[in-house]
Structure 1
Amino acid sequence: MPGPVHKIGVSLAAAALAILTAASPATAETAASAARQAEPAAYFVMTDVTDEQFVIQLTDPDKIQHARDLLSGATLDRPHVIGRIAKWPVPYNPRWSYHYQPETVNFFDNAIEVCDATIPYVEDHLDEAGGAFLPGLVWCPWSSRLVRELPAR
C-alpha cells in the first residue's frame, strides 16, 4: 500500500502534468505570435484623389500578400485602405503628422462615409480626429489605392 510520500509525489506529478498541458496551447500561440512578429514589416505607398502620397506599414503576412496582389493585378478585391490612425509622425512616413497603426490596417471595397477623408484633409483637421471627424480614429479614404511597395529597410 502506498505511503504518504508516494501520494504526495503522485499529486505533484499530476499537478505538473496539468500545468504543462494547460500551458501547451499558450506556448503554441506564443510561438506562432513570435513567428508572425519575426516576419519583416513591409511598406507601401498609397495615394488618393489628391495625388498626395502616404506610407503605410504592414506586419501581417496575409495583408502584405494582399497588398502585393493588388499591386501586381492578381486581385482587384478590397483595393482601399482602412485602419485606425495615431496622431504622431513615424520615421517611415515623415511628411505627415499621423500614421496608420499597422496592426489595424486592412482593405475594403465599400465603407461608411464617416471615415472617409483625403490625406491632406486628415492632416489639416488632425486635432478634430477621433470625435465627430473620424470617430474612433478610423480612417477609410474611399479613393485610396496602393501605388508601390517600398524597398525593404
Structure 2
Amino acid sequence: MKLLLTLLVILLTFSAFVSAEEAYFAFKTHGSKHDFVFKLTDLNKIEMARDILSGKETENTHVMGRIKLKGKDYNPHYSFHLDPDQTSFFKFAIEVCDATLQYAEENIDEVGGAFLPGNIFCPWSSQLTKEVKIK
C-alpha cells in the first residue's frame, strides 16, 4: 500500500510538472518589422504550434488571442501581449478582429472598443516564424 501511495505521489508530481510546461513562439503579419512573441502554456496548443512550424498542420495556422494591454520582457517591440490561456490557432475568422501587428500597436489605445472588440486579435496574415527559447 505504501509503495502504491508513493507511486501515486510521483505520478501526480510528474503530471503537475508536465502540465506546467510553457513555450514561446513568434509570428509576423503583413509588413511587420519585428516578430511578435507569445507564450503558450497548454500542451495541446504547444504541440499544435510545433506542428504548424513543422508543416504537419496546414489548416489552422493563423494566431488568434486576447490582447492584454501590458508589454512583456520577452516581446520588447510591442506594448501588449496575448493572454496564454486565450490564444489559439485558426483557419478563418471574422473581419472585426483582423489587423496587422503594426496597426494594432499604432492604435493600441482603441483596442477593446470598436477596434478589436473584446480585445480579440486575429490577424489573418499571421504566420508562425519560429519557436523562441527564453532564458
Alignment TM-score, normalising by the size of structure 1: 0.74
**Distance (Å, rounded) in 1 between the aligned partners of 2:115 and 2:18:** 32
Is the aligned partner of 1:65 residue 2:65?
no
1:132 partner letter: A
1:114-147 Cα shifts (integer Å, max 9, x gaps): 0000001011100000000000000000000101
**Distance (Å, rounded) in 2 between the aligned partners of 1:113 and 1:152:** 32
- How far 1:77 moved relative to its partner? 1.8
Secondary structure in structure 1 of the residue aligned to 2:47: helix
Structure of greater relative contact order (alpha carbons < 8 Å, 6+ residues apart)? 2
Q: Which residue of 1 aligns with 2:23?
A: 42
Cα pair 1:88 1:98 within 8 Å, conserved: yes
CA RMSD of the aligned region, Å? 1.8
Q: Which runs of 5+ in 2 are unaligned?
A: 1-11
Cα pair 2:68 2:80 within 8 Å, conserved: yes
Q: Which has the higher helix share?
A: 1
Q: Which runs of 5+ in 1 are unaligned?
A: 1-30
Secondary structure in structure 2 of the residue aligned to 1:57: strand
Residues 137 and 37 of structure 1: CA distance in aligned 2, closer, same or farther (over 3 Å)? farther
1:70-105 Cα shifts (integer Å, max 9, x gaps): 001111020000010011101111110001011100
Secondary structure in structure 2 of the residue aligned to 1:51: coil
2:48 partner letter: H
Cα pair 1:36 1:60 within 8 Å, conserved: no
Cα pair 1:44 1:57 within 8 Å, conserved: yes
Matched residues, number: 122
Q: Which residue of 2 aligns with 1:143?
A: 125
- Flag the structure with larger Rg: 1
Residues 126 and 86 of structure 1: CA distance in aligned 2, closer, same or farther (over 3 Å)? same
Is the aligned partner of 1:88 residue 2:70?
yes
